[in-house]
Amino acid sequence: MVVDARIDAKTLKAANINSATYLATDYLNHYNEVAMLVGMLGDMPEMCDLIIEWQPISYAEHFRQTGFSDKELAIAAFEQAPADVLARFRAACNEVEEAIYEVQRQLKAAPEKAARVAVYGQEIFELISLVGGVINGEGEQTIDDGAQADVDALFA
């Protein structure tokens, strides 16, 4: 893999890209929009069609479609993000998408009950916050292997 010379901590921070995970929270907008629509179903059941039409897009596609000023840097950084970060990121995104798919299934099956589905908006936002946690580097192991061995020895 060729390392992109633009990817350094200072440049990433200036572009609002996490320098540890190489991910940007701007991607969350892709999910936040549909979560807001779901939450509005109680008052605006006409949002049903927009929710049913929603489809997930890749991280790179999101940045290609948005007005994010450093979109090329965001895509290049994503392509060089640590494998463990990407695995956690993809797993968290899958959870959000499954929750949205469930809402879509329910709306397709019984659109007249759209108001009842609005409660899932909060659940989707909670799942989105987990994706945000991955992007922001929350929950990463911070003890190196040597320190972990020292801790383990104390309890042996």
Domain region containing 108: 9-154
Annotate 87-98 with b (16+ C-beta within 10 A) or e (fewer): ebbeebbeebbe
- Whether residue 3 lies inside any domain: the answer is no
The torsion angles phi and psi of 4, rounded to 5 degrees, stand at -75, 125
- Whether residue 62 lies inside any domain: the answer is yes
pLDDT band at 152 (very low <50, low <70, confident <90, very high): very low
How far is the C-alpha of 45 from the C-alpha of 37, rounded, in Å?
9
Tell me: the pLDDT tens digits for 21-62? 999 999 999 999 999 999 999 999 999 999 999 999 999 999
Domains held by the chain: number: 1
- Whether residue 102 lies inside any domain: the answer is yes
- Whether residue 106 lies inside any domain: the answer is yes
Tell me: the pLDDT tens digits for 67-100? 999 999 999 999 999 999 999 999 999 999 999 9
- Whether residue 1 lies inside any domain: the answer is no
- pTM, whole model, 2 decimals? 0.84
- Whether residue 88 lies inside any domain: the answer is yes
Neighbours of 154 (CB within 10 A): 6
How far CA 93 is from CA of 5, 28, 30, 143, in Å, comes to 28, 9, 11, 26
- Whether residue 45 lies inside any domain: the answer is yes
- Whether residue 2 lies inside any domain: the answer is no
